[in-house]
Amino acid sequence: MPVNQQNICIIGLGYVGLPLAHAFAAKGYTVHGFDINEGRIEELQNGHDSTNELSDTQLQEVTINFSTDAAVIKECDVVILAIPTPVDDNKKPDLTPVRKASETVGKNMKEGAIIVYESTVYPGTTEEICGPILEEHSGLTCGKDFTLGYSPERINPGDKEHTVTKIMKIVAGQDSKTTDILCALYGDIITAGIHRAANIKTAEMAKAIENAQRDLNIAYVNEVAMLCHKVGINSSDVLEAAGTKWNFLHFQPGLVGGHCIGVDPYYLVEIAEQLGMDTHVISAGRKVNDGMAKLVVDEVLDAIGGKGKILVMGLTFKEDVPDTRNSQSYTVIKALQNAGCDVYAHDPKAPNGDVPRATLEDGPYDAVLLLVQHKEYREMDTQHIIDAVKDGGVIYDIKGMLDAEKITASGRKFLAL
């Protein structure tokens, strides 16, 4: 039995919302799950999660009332929003989904409810943007008739070890009573403990800077890798040597895509701009990481002499997930296509998209680019890839998964970041 008696509604049942709904339901809470995506609700009602965050067994072992009917919000004491927070084409935060979901909640919430945001946002979003939308559409007064909370989600998609209940949860409410209630509620499902943040803005900022820090650390090793290329040495050898010092931070160069690390720093840039401040370090990290796809393409085109038949292996933004949002693999593919290359894609996890699919057996290729560290690729024999590439052709191994010496000895060109 749950320690608290609240009915909970999760708004947005994606990578974040669904595991959270599951965690509350597994503890015996009455959980409603609302999403505007009918297809998503249908698959969840049928006991399947296409994001692979929950197995069919996990999903089917709990009771969650999945619905596209916003009326379920009325029944809930705590409403938790896990709505996307992307950037637009100009890399500006796009709060439209959060605004729209807040309108829906405002129209349907009951008096006395606590409305909690889990989406990654810039400080001030919950209280200065979402609170007034909720007031406008509910006719209620924030802080009196209902209160706000913020608790960022820190899961790592595809990571079956650090799942929602095993990550310390940052929790903040707009007043101490709300914070107490939310700490007790989340404390009931989170085994890793609760961090009571000083206030909502602090919790919002903490989440955004976590991801920006990761972006910057990767940008640093990406820049190091570029410099190593100029110097004519292998960046992984350099990082291995430097990594023997006890306080050297271990990061690998790579493409930074997805909807978190490559996006959240822009939320900090935005709030800084609104407050009349320039971000130098945060913006530099984004610039370096956004430039890595071009570096890969330039090196491949140079090595194959401008044009050719290419297989890109790995379309998702990271390994072992089916999520292709903001994947840099697509930036690489588009640039290769624009250069006149005949590009094919392979991915054991990603759903079929616009790029024609092919396998290594459909070679020989002028170049094979291994861009994502999927388990299937980590277990692949280097010879299998060598056999698919023309003599003198290129194998680009972005994460150093293959046997570089074997590739070079075979007469193929080995490239890596």
Ligand X SMILES: NC(=O)c1ccc[n+]([C@@H]2O[C@H](COP(=O)([O-])OP(=O)(O)OC[C@H]3O[C@@H](n4cnc5c(N)ncnc54)[C@H](O)[C@@H]3O)[C@@H](O)[C@H]2O)c1
Annotated active-site positions, please?
260
DSSP 345: E
- In the block, tokens 């990761």 appear at 214
* Per-residue binder mask for ligand X (CB under 6 A), 26-55, x = binder: --------xxxx--x---------------
**Rounded least distance, CB 204 to ligand X, Å:** 11
87 vs 398 by CB, closer to ligand X? 87
Q: Does 235 bind ligand X (CB under 6 A)?
A: no
Name which position in 8, 76, 108, 153 contacts ligand X (CB under 6 A). 153
d(CA 286, CA 326): 14
Q: Closest CB to ligand X among 84 and 314? A: 84
Residue 279 CB coordination number (10 Å): 18
Q: Is 83 in the site for ligand X (CB under 6 A)?
A: yes
Nearer Cβ to ligand X (96/359): 96
| Rounded Cα–Cα distance for residues 186 and 167 (Å) | 11
Kindly tell me which of 16 and 310 has the beta carbon lying closer to ligand X: 16
222 in contact with ligand X (CB under 6 A): no
**3-state SS, residue 388:** coil
CB 123 within 8 A of CB 156: no
One residue of 26, 155, 192, 339 binding ligand X per CB under 6 A: 155
29: amino acid identity, one letter = Y
Q: How far apart are CA 348 and CA 251, in angstroms?
A: 25
In the list 6, 119, 174, 179, the residue contacting ligand X (rule: CB under 6 A) is: 119
Q: Report d(CA 57, CA 277) in Å as an integer.
A: 49
Single out the segment in contact with ligand X by CB under 6 A; choices: 147-155, 231-239, 329-337, 341-349. Answer: 147-155
Out of 7, 85, 328, 331, the only residue in the binding site for ligand X (CB under 6 A) is 85
- Of 417, 353, 381, 1, the C-alpha closest to 219 is 417
CA atoms within 13 A on the CB side of 383: 0
- Is residue 22 involved in binding ligand X (CB under 6 A)? no
Cβ distance to ligand X smaller for residue 34 or 396 = 34
Decide if residue 238 touches ligand X (CB under 6 A).
no
Minimum CB–partner distance for residue 94 and ligand X (Å) = 11
Site string for ligand X, 157-186 (x = CB under 6 A): x-----------------------------
Tokens 């909720």 correspond to 134
Distances (CA, A) of 370 to 160, 251, 258, 273, 311: 24, 19, 17, 38, 9
**Range in contact with ligand X (rule: CB under 6 A) among 95-103, 170-178, 220-228, 306-314:** 95-103
Q: Give the type of residue at 239.
A: L
Please give the Cα distance from 282 to 356 (Å, whole number): 36
Query: What is the binding site for ligand X (CB under 6 A)?
Result: 11-17, 34-37, 40, 82-85, 97, 100-101, 104, 118-120, 153-155, 157, 259-260
